A and B are shown apart, each in its own frame.
Chain A
Amino acid sequence: MEQTRAVITGVTSVMLAVTLLSGPLVPSVTLASEPEPVALETGNVTVSAVEMPDTVTLEAGSYGAASYYLNAPPIHVQFSNRTGRPTLVYELTIEELGYSRTTNHFLDESTGDAYELTLASDTFTDAEIQREQYNGTVTVSKRDDAGHGVVATRNVTISVIE
């Protein structure tokens, strides 16, 4: 009984002490710190090969969900040179829908020679999708020390799948 109580009291005091340490009372200790900000769009990247998607689809939601899901396959890129923390951007534009979406990919030291660029999923309502096909443009661009530049671009057909 006494030992149990001692354990509980001990745990409580440790937690209270740590909490007190965290505050401005003990300025030398920082327990909760913001993640280090990283400098993005730095270094350099040269893309040697890009494999663009052939088909992009708008699929009616499964499980009875009342929407269409944009389904853009990933783009495969290969680098001949990559230093620092450059950014690669996957952009899809569907002008007939007045729609554009980009997903940024932040590369770093852990990225190998090849990389798979993805586009985040998005939804459309039933009302927005009126046709069976739309024309769109897929663009890959890069941002690094050399500035912004388009790596590759391609027109794609976006087919609607019910």
Chain B
Amino acid sequence: MTATGFVGDLRQRATALSDIRRTAYAVLFGDRLGLIVFLATVVLFGLVWRTAFLITDSYTLANGLYSLSNGHVALTDAVYGPGLETPGANRYGGQRFARNYGVIVLSLPVVFALDLLTAVVELRIALVALWSLALLAFVVQCGHYTDNEWVSVGGSVVVLGLFGLNVALAQPLDAGRTHLYALQLTHLLIAAFTPVVLYRLFSRMRTRRLGFLSAVVLTAGTPLAFWASVPKRHVVTGTVVVCIAYCLYRSRMPTDGSLITQRRTFRALAYALVGLYAWVHAPEALLLCVAVVVVDVPTAQDNSPRTLARIGVVFALSLLPFIVTNIAISGSPIKPPRVISRSGSIGGDIAGSASGDGGGGSGSGGGISRTLLAPLFTLIERGMQPLVLLSGELIRGLDTIQQQPNDVYHAFVRSGNASGALDIAGEESVNLSLLESAPVLVAMVGALPVLRRLRLPSSMGDRVLGADRVVDAFAVTAFVGVVLLYAGRLPLHAQVTARYVFPLYPLGVYLVMRLPAVRESLTNHWRVFLWTVTGTVLIGGQLALIFVALTVNGIGEAFQLHALLGLTIAVPLGSWAVIGRSEGMAGQTGAVLLGAATGVTTVFLLLTSIEYYALGDSHLLPMMRALAELVTLY
């Protein structure tokens, strides 16, 4: 009792602190349900967190973080992995550098915090305690939300039990690998905001219920949890894309927030997010930048030079960390520590021909003006070069779609036994297509009947779009952009779940949830939907387990089994979406199909982290490790 009294006292005294707390709470989570979504996601990600390297690219980031935490920008020691020559490491002036410096810098404080923890407590127990505290917070928030004290009390006891179980099974965690854990923790926390922001977007657009359901579809129905703790750019892109959508929405609505009181601030924030993301992965940031400009500028109410200048300044400021890093590494402000095309050759060709054309054009302009304007031309040319490269990539993507429809089919619909879809190194069929990874996205075909009814603005006077339409336009533009950007690289290798096109998962879920049939079916039959998800996971999961144990010989077959299961659900769901009815039985059917498609992915995610990619049973939580050791399927 004295402890609670003390806490109460503190709370009363520190009103200023509590104001900051309330603002931070509102800015980060919006409301209690947003916080619940966040905590639930973090707890789920913690469950499937394996403290090992899934992809060799992550060595580069871990070594980059190690070097930076010791005060060096360049890579110094190969603390992780076989050496410094890991995928993604680039050479400049005799030194090697990492990439994705944005997340490396964000992970710096986490590394220091973890190192500090290691000095005082056993790291495994500390991380187990952190996970348990997140679960406890989740339980308590659920108790508040449902206004039921028993939820809090019962939940707390269960949390204590789980904590005890984990401590009893605990083995020490290698304290020398804090850079990896820090990167994983940063990515995991960033990933947890994808469903939170999607929830906030839909709860403002429509209802909080729809917001919550969209968060469930995104978290349980797409491979978000699989990539959450993998130090790669993918989940970061997903969060950035959803945040941009949210900012664009708020920039068209009257403001009511405590921190941001003007809509144009949100508009500038959308651009700032793009600029900051360039610090992680410049080519994708450029694509997003184009998507934002193309959608925002033509549809905005106010495009006065003053407003545009203000946005330009904010955007330039947000690019500062990116530019500073580039100058520190390559000496050029726009040359990121990774060029736009990984192979380099095709991107290089395009750049070469583009500069050649530019030279020819200025040559016809005449002698004196050429010498006078030459520096200006060079400057414009240099500034345009990334855009030229990007359009080259997009055109190449379009070409691929026309000329290699088979590769497109393998990447987006059915992976299967296409030898081209196989991993070069592995030989197993573990590269699932987009649809196999998230069958719920098939509902996007429901857009076809909606598009037929859609009226396009008939005159320039109609160009100012409402908030909903602006976000729709951005989602469609970004979706198409990401498809084209990566279509040129088909067939893709070492994907697992079509990871290059990861932003398509949140964008796709957004577009699916915008369809009237989906929205109404889910809102009216949300209990049916949630029960179907639960049933699919609990009952379908066990059936899948038995099926895998009896018929599967290896990871490739297991993945293809899950792929076929997903596609089996996708067929009726797609048909339902095309018909697009949500009244009565049709609505219930839709909720069941959406729930089943979501649940099938969850089963895949759980089995993947427990069995297929257990990564040497390196689960953070001892109870998950014990479960993985117990389960041997092939």
Contact = CB atoms under 8 A, between A and B. Distances in A.
Contact of B553 (A2, A32, A69, A127): A69
B173 A13 contact: no
B402 interface: no
Contacts of A67: 427-429, 554, 556
Nearest to B150: A4
Interface in B496-520: none
Interface in B584-611: none
Interface string A102-133: 00000000000000000001111111000000
A65 interface: yes
Given A8-B136, A65-B557, A19 B153 contact: no
A62 B557 contact: yes
Contact of B121 (A10, A12, A20): A20
B4 A6 contact: yes
Contacts of B418: 66
Interface in B77-95: none
Interface stretch (A23-31, A86-94, A139-147): A23-31
Nearest to B130: A19
A11 B155 CA distance: 10
A90 B159 CA distance: 44
B380 interface: no
A66 B171 contact: no
Contacts of A12: 133, 136
Given A13-B3, A34-B172, A65 B559 contact: yes
A71 interface: yes
A90 B188 CA distance: 42
Contact of A61 (B153, B163, B429, B564): B429
A31 B122 contact: yes
A4 B553 contact: no
A15 B163 contact: yes
Find the residue from A2, A24, A35 having the highest chain B CB count within 10 A.
A24
Contacts of B121: 19-20, 22-23, 25
B112 interface: no
A59 B553 contact: yes
A62 B159 CA distance: 42
B363 to A, nearest CB: 52
Contact of A22 (B122, B417, B429, B634): B122
B577 interface: no
Q: For the complex, would chain B's binding face be called helix, strand, loop or mixed by DSSP majority?
A: helix
Given A11-B159, A23-B122, A32 B172 contact: yes
Contact of A11 (B136, B143, B167, B427): B136
A64 B564 contact: yes
B494 interface: no
Given A4-B153, A32-B172, A123-B427, A15 B554 contact: no
Contact of B152 (A4, A33, A127): A4
A59 B124 CA distance: 42
A67 B156 CA distance: 48
Given A65-B556, A121-B634, A5 B428 contact: no
A16 interface: yes
Among B173, B557, B564, which residue has the most Cβ atoms of chain A within 10 A?
B557
Contacts of A33: 170-172
A117 to B, nearest CB: 16
B422 interface: yes
A65 B156 CA distance: 45
B264 to A, nearest CB: 43
Nearest to B144: A4
A63 interface: yes
Contacts of A10: 156
A3 to B, nearest CB: 8
Contacts of A121: 553-554, 634
Interface in A30-79: 31-35, 59, 61-67, 69, 71
Contacts of B27: none
B258 to A, nearest CB: 27
A53 B557 CA distance: 24
A144 to B, nearest CB: 26
Interface string B391-434: 00000000000000000000000101111011000011100000
B126 interface: yes
A90 B559 CA distance: 28
A152 interface: no
Highest count of chain B CB atoms <10 Å: which of A31, A67, A69:
A67
Contacts of B7: 9
Given A2-B4, A61-B553, A124-B427, 11 more contacts: A11-B160, A18-B125, A18-B129, A20-B120, A33-B172, A62-B560, A65-B554, A66-B416, A66-B421, A69-B557, A121-B634
27 contacts: A3-B153, A6-B4, A7-B153, A7-B157, A8-B156, A9-B3, A9-B7, A11-B136, A18-B129, A23-B121, A23-B125, A24-B119, A32-B124, A32-B172, A62-B557, A63-B561, A65-B554, A66-B417, A66-B422, A67-B427, A67-B429, A69-B554, A69-B557, A121-B554, A123-B427, A123-B428, A126-B419
Closest 7 CB pairs of A and B: A23-B121, A63-B560, A66-B417, A64-B416, A22-B122, A32-B170, A22-B125
Interface of A: 1-16, 18-20, 22-25, 31-35, 59, 61-67, 69, 71, 121-127
